[in-house]
Amino acid sequence: MRYLVLSDIHANLEALDAVLHSADGRWDRALVLGDLVGYGADPNAVVERIVALPPAAVIRGNHDKAASGVEDTANFNPAARAAAIWTYGALAPDHRAYLQALPAGPLVVDDALEICHGSPFDEDFYIFDGSDAWRALESTRSSLCFFGHTHVAVAFLRSGNLFEAVLPENGDTPVQARNGRRLLVNPGSVGQPRDGDPRAAYAIYDSTEGVVTLRRVDYAVERAQEKIIAAGLPKALAARLAAGR
């Protein structure tokens, strides 16, 4: 089975379409790790794309909760708050209802695989470093767990006394998911990367081969920026797309 793993799309239609084109023919089932909306200018179109896949499993992110009215924006910075409020008003009623109904993570997909947005022990917790990752691996129920939320592509692996972080290279970065390893993998953000690489990020997991591949693809950043500005969203949300920060 080949899984397409998507996270943190953030209403960036150009990035999502580029990923789906890049991944065409490479996957059998899709997994979506939350934050379909927020920040970007195409929440309705992105929700439509995701519904049409359709995903084998999809969970909510913190921006999905805020933009659909499940939670307030008290913990959001001003730009994120403005985007969530704008998104709530822009969402079609059926798309808002879809986001409201998304389940919380973690969600077990099969015997060896689970997904979460922030971490396996708290859907809104950020896994930034090795200590966070170690704690997360201690709480996983599966040998492989995909997470998002930080917008940084990385794989943390634990095998016996070995514990290390694998950062993606310029091209595809394969990570072995067998041989007794426990893996915690962030595919990176489709719509708003924050690791210094502005290209859209995603992952392909081949369960037959036991390999997770972290991938990047160029997309029309300028078009996504133009839409954000035209919608009246904070200009900083457009500017950061070009920097991947």
Query: Closest by alpha carbon to 5, among 34, 25, 32?
Result: 32
Query: 2 forms bridges with which residues in the sheet?
Result: 206
- What is the reported pLDDT for 180? 74
State both tokens at 215.
């991938």
Backbone angles phi, psi at 58, to 5 degrees: -145, 135
Q: Which residues of the chain carry a pLDDT beneath 50?
A: none
Supply the pLDDT for residue 124: 97
Which pLDDT belongs to residue 64?
Answer: 98
Cβ-based neighbour number of residue 77 at 10 Å? 11
**Using CA atoms, how far apart are residues 179 and 176, in angstroms rounded to an integer?**
8
DSSP-assigned letters across all residues of 162-194: EEEEE---SS-EEEE--TT-EEEEE---SS---
**What is the rounded distance in angstroms from the CA atom of residue 237 to the CA atom of residue 245?**
10
Distance CA 77, CA 228 (A): 17
**Domain hosting residue 147, numbered range:** 2-243
The CATH number assigned to the domain holding 100 equals 3.60.21.10
Backbone angles phi, psi at 78, to 5 degrees: -55, -40
Residue 180, sorted as left (phi over 0), alpha (psi -120 to 50) or beta, turns out to be: left
pLDDT at 181: 82
pLDDT for 115: 98
- The pLDDT assigned to 179 comes to 73
Alpha helices, DSSP H only, in the chain? 13-22, 43-52, 62-68, 78-90, 93-100, 130-139, 221-230, 235-243
Report the C-alpha gap between 167 and 156 in whole angstroms.
9
As to burial, measured by CB atoms within 10 angstroms (0-12 exposed, 13-18 middle, 19+ buried), residue 122 is: middle
Pairwise CA distance, residues 172 & 162, whole Å: 23
Alpha carbon distance 233, 245 (integer Å): 17
Domain count for the chain: 1
* Distances, alpha carbon 97 to alpha carbons 39, 55, 91, 224, in Å: 19, 17, 9, 25
